[in-house]
Each structure stands twice: as structure tokens, then as C-alpha cells.
A and B are shown apart, each in its own frame.
Chain A
Amino acid sequence: MALLDVRGLRVEFASRSGPLAAVEGLDLAVAPGETLALVGESGSGKSVASMAVMGLLPATARVSGQALFEGEDLIAMPPAELRRRRGSGIAMVFQEPMTSLNPVLTIGRQLIEALPRVERASRAAARGRAAELLASVGITAPESRLDEFPHQLSGGMRQRVMIAIALAGRPRLIIADEPTTALDVTVQAQIVALLQSLQRDTGIAILLISHDLALVRQMAGRVAVMYAGRKVEEAAAAALFDRPGHPYSAGLIAAIPRLGGGREARLAEIPGAAPSLAERGPGCNFAPRCPMAAEVCATPPPATGIACHFRTEAAA
């Protein structure tokens, strides 16, 4: 059974011209211990989808569909129930380590409040466990770091602290939303290595949200590609990078810069820009940018498998 099973997730935001869907009919399944990457451009709905699962969207968002975590629907459950699963069932690591930590509280306080109640029972034990967590994410002199404030740490350190906070509740799933985007390249590699070793040691599942395909290739077992609020393709990482099915996936992969491409080799790009929420229609939303676009693309693409008229024909 999947650890997290998202079915038909839809997220709408109210606008002056009626509700606009940021995520439409998203299906995702994360198995225990695996890494699923959710990729797509900014605005494709990947972060909104993850926030919807965690119940962290503002009250103006309307969420429908199901998000079964260990068989229980996170979207239908009362807020207090959902709150108990945050941190201990599913934890999150955010993109901005600069602003994701509270600037006026010490690292220790922010770590300790994320611990399960039993581990917070005694002050000394809580501090001990907090120091242990900092050590487990590769922070040296963890005892003294507990009394420091976020601004005293570097960006990479802060992201390590964020990961330690995520681990504090002993979750089964970590949603990592662009965990390395705001970091220097060398620090990015360290954070990736850290996440991978933590996963090996604890068997935690990771839902990696990223637009960085190099990172995805390195970390993910499976990849789901999102475009304009919909999943257009899902495949094993190796297969996807080898033989992308959807023209959008192919475009993304072709746009990865490669070593040895030569100074003159122009980087491939996908022409045009993703449609805004209001510009989306019932047909294939990628069609205006797609080299293969034809008349049939104005009709809704296949709901299962690769969301492209031409790919299903080829498969049939």
C-alpha cells in the first residue's frame, strides 16, 4: 500500500472572474521509503499541491479530492487530526532556509518544540535529543549551536537545521520543497548527500519538489511531471530521462545543460511561457508551445498515462 496516495486533488482559488484551478485532478502515490520527484516550472502547481496535502494553504483556497496518508484522508479529516500528523507523519523542508526559521527563537527552542511530547518531557532529555538531531544532519558542536539564533548560521547550516526539525517528529514522509534551490552549488551537493544518507538510514520516504532536473535525476526513483496544474507524465526516473513520453518532459530534459556541449552549443529551450491560471483551457495546455501540436490538441488529452494525444496513439 502506498504511504501517501493522492487522488483527484483539485485546488481552486477564488478570483474576480470565478474560481481558478491551480491544481486539477492530480494523482500521486508515494511508497514507503521511496523518493518521488514532482517536477515542473514555477506556477505548475507542485508546491500548491504539497501545501494542500499538509493543509497549509490559506483559507481562501478550496481543496477537493483525496490525500490518503496511511489510509486516512488528510483533506477530509478535522484540522486537529491533521495537525497531529504534521511533523510526526509528514514533515516539510522548505526552499528558503533564510526565512523559514523563526529569527527571534534559538535553534534549540525551534528544534525542541518539534519533538514528540514524550521526548519533550524532561528539559535535559529534550536538549540531548535536539543535539543528537543536529549531529545527525552533520552539524558540528551541536550542543553550543542549540543556543544560537538563525542569523548566526550560514544558509547551508540553516537548511541542515530545517532538516533536523523535519526529522524531529520521526515522520514517515518528508516533503522537500526545492530544498537546495537557495543554496550555493557546493552546499547543494552536501544537502543532497545528507538527504540520501538519511533515507538509507531511516527508510523515510521523500516527496521531492523541484524544477532542478539534475537534482531529480540524482535523487528520485520515480518522477511525476506537472504542467499547468496537471500531471502530464509519471515514470521511473531512468526511463523518463532516457525516453521522455510527453513533449513537455522531452523539452525539459533537452534543456538540462550538459558538460562537453561546447561553448557554441546553444542551450535548448521551450519557446513561450506557461499559461496563467486564467488562460488554461480544457484541451492540452502545452499545445501553444508544443512542436507536435495539431488540431486534436484542443480537445482534452488522455486522463490516464501520458497526457498527450500522440503518445497514446503511438502506444495503441
Chain B
Amino acid sequence: MLGYALRRVAASVPVAFCVALFVFALLYLAPGDPAALMAGDAASPADIEKLRAALGLDRPFLTRFVEWLWRILHGDLGTSVFTGIPVATLIGQRVLATFSLMIVALLIASGIGVPMGALAAYRPGGAADRAVMVGGVLGFSVPVFVTGYLLSYIFAYRLGWFAVQGFVSPFADFGGFLRTILLPAASLAGAYAALIARITRATMLDVLAQDHVRTARAKGLGEARVVIVHGLSNAAAPILTVMGMGAAVLLGGAVVTETVFGIPGLGRLTVDAVLRRDYPVIQGVTLFLAFIFVAVNLGVDLLCAAIDPRVRQ
């Protein structure tokens, strides 16, 4: 297990490097001149040229990339050209809101998706199966901002059960945290729950038809134990893998959800930075989120190996 973990961690390093290169190149190739933008309308071409030199934007791609990478390795993600605040500080201020949103959405999505998918596979064509089918289509096709505004209108504005906007730290006031986080997390969870339900159904259909499930029944085990212990233990690795890949759905959805519910998170930070062409912030946040994605999938792989001994071979 330790050997597998070390190999898997080592394999993540080149992936992280490629991600960094990609993030850097993306903004390098993006249209628009950051120097001209930052200098403002009143600036003369000479001023812009000076600013460009000051920012180092006139130097070749590779030089800039290596420098950028070097600074990142030392924890320096750059400074926002708009606010003058270090990007690392900006991320630090907002990471809690985004992570809370994603974790609560993950809990909701897996709490609904896994049992529904398992039930659907247990009785194909039954009520749960049809619910997964319909819910799956709705979950995938209704955009986050529609569910978001709908939930917000019903449960926050009409019924007053939840806050309409904002975010409260779970460490400061847990009740307030739940009142602000549950609605956005629920709307973010929609597509993710649909994804989890579909993959759980497909995997469990396959697993429940396997010979060892028949052995479990022949031992006289109850159906709940057969499905949960013998079914899900075998289905866990594929389900977790898809959940890890699907974390991208959560990351992308978080941007929209934070805007709808006025949550001061990384998504909002990104949107604001894009609108202002605040390049260091865009690069920093994108890189940070990409690394989170790589880390999540590394964690998933290690978890799969812990559950399924065949993966460790």
C-alpha cells in the first residue's frame, strides 16, 4: 500500500507541472494587452510600453514561465494588479467559503446519488430506477443558476427558512452557516448527484450480477447486507473515481453558485478578476483550483487502493 501510494504521489508531479504550464500558456495566449488595460484610457503608448517592461511582459515566454514557476514554488502567487493585495492572501480569505460550499454539495450529492443509484440497480425498472432516470435528466439539464434562483425564491424569499445571500463561517456560527450554505450547496449538488446516481446504478447493476453476490445470498445474509457490504464495497472504486473526475463539475458550478447567492468565494474572485483582466489573480486562482483537482483525484486513487486490494497490485 505504501509503495503504491508513493508511486501514485510521484506520478502526480508531472501532472501538476503540465497543469501549471497550461494555465500559464492559456493567459499568455489570451487576447488583450494587460499593460494597456492596466494603464487606462489616458495612457500614452510610451507609458504602456514602460508598464509592460515593468511587469516583465516584454520578455520571452519561457523566461516568464520559469520565473513564475519559481515564485510559485516559494509560495508567491503574485500580486493583484488591481488591489495590490497578494494573490495568496486573496485566496486564503475566500477558500473557506468555496470549500464549505463544495463539501456540503458533495455530502448532499453523494447522500442522494449513491442510495438512489443502488436502489435503481437493485430493482431495474422500479420506482427508484425511474426516479434516477428522470432526476438524472433534470440534474444534468437544468442549469445551476435556474435551480439556484428557484430554491432561493421558494425557501429563502417566500418561506424565509434560509438566508438569501451571503456566507457565515461554520467556526463562527454553525446555525448561520447552515442557513447560508444549504441552498447554494443544494443547487450546486444537482448535476453532481445525477452523475453519482448514474454511475452508481451502472456499476451496481454489474456488481450485483456477479457470482460472489450469489454466494453472499447463499450464506443467508440479509438483502441490505448483500447490497451494502458486498455490492457497494465492489462498486466503490469506480464510483469514487467518477466522483473525483466530477469534482470539475463542482468547481465550475461553484463560480455560478457563488454569484447567484452572493458568496464571497474563489468563484466570485475569479469572475471579478476576469472582468478586470487581473492576470495574476486569474492565474493564481486557476492554478490553485487545478491543483485542488489533481489533489482530489490523487486522494481518490489512494482511497480506492485502500478499499480494493486489486488496485494495489
Decide yes or no: A86 and B234 within 8 Å by CB, A99-B211, A104-B310 being known contacts: no
Is A84's CB within 8 Å of the partner chain B? Answer: yes
Cα of A257 to Cα of B60 in the assembled complex, Å: 81
**B221 to chain A: closest residue by CB:** A113
Please give me the residue from chain A that is nearest to B217 by CB atom.
A56
Bound together, the chains give a CA A100 to CA B211 distance in angstroms of 5
A126 CB to closest chain B CB (Å) equals 14
Closest to B123 in A: A59
Q: Does A103 belong to the interface (CB within 8 Å)? A: yes
Interface assignment of A225: CB less than 8 Å from any CB of chain B? no
Residues of A within 8 A of B310 (CB): 103-104, 149, 151
B214 contacts chain A at the CB level, 8 A cutoff: yes
Q: Are A96 and B211 in contact, with the CB atoms below 8 A?
A: yes
What is the predominant secondary structure among interface residues of chain B facing chain A?
helix
What class of interface size applies to chain A in its complex with B?
20 to 34
**B94 interface residue per 8 A CB criterion:** no
CB distance from A82 to the nearest CB of B (A): 9
B212 interface hit (Cβ, 8 Å): yes
User: Are B220 and A87 within 8 A (Cβ)?
Assistant: yes
Interface residues of A in 3-18 (CB under 8 A from B): none
State whether the Cβ of A163 lies closer than 8 Å to any Cβ in chain B: no
Contact indicator A84/B220 (Cβ below 8 Å): yes
Q: Say whether B218 contacts A54, CB under 8 Å.
A: yes
Please tell me which one of the listed residues A85, A103, A149 contacts residue B220 in the complex, with CB atoms under 8 A apart: A85
Q: Check: A204 CB closer than 8 A to any chain B CB.
A: no
Given contacts A94-B211, A149-B309, A151-B309, is CB(A102)–CB(B220) below 8 Å? no
Interface: A169 (CB within 8 A)? yes
What residues of A have a CB within 8 angstroms of the CB of B45 in the complex?
A: none
> Which residues of chain B are near A104, meaning CB under 8 Å?
233-234, 236, 307-310
Contacts of A96 in B (CB 8 A): 211
- Flag if B214 contacts A100 (CB, 8 Å): yes
Q: Is the CB of A102 within 8 A of B218?
A: no
Binding site for A on B (CB under 8 A): 210-212, 214-222, 225, 229-230, 233-234, 236, 307-310, 313
Interface residues of A (CB under 8 A from B): 54, 56, 83-88, 91-92, 94, 96, 99-105, 113-114, 149, 151, 162, 165, 168-169
Please name 23 pairs of A and B residues whose Cβ atoms are closer than 8 Å in the assembled complex, sorted by A: A83-B220, A86-B217, A87-B219, A91-B218, A91-B219, A92-B218, A94-B211, A96-B211, A99-B210, A99-B211, A101-B215, A102-B216, A102-B233, A103-B212, A103-B309, A105-B229, A113-B221, A149-B309, A149-B310, A162-B215, A165-B219, A168-B219, A169-B219
Q: A91-B218, A94-B214, A151-B313 are in contact. List 13 more A-B contacts (CB 8 A).
A: A87-B219, A88-B220, A92-B218, A94-B218, A96-B211, A100-B211, A100-B214, A102-B215, A103-B310, A104-B310, A105-B233, A113-B225, A169-B220
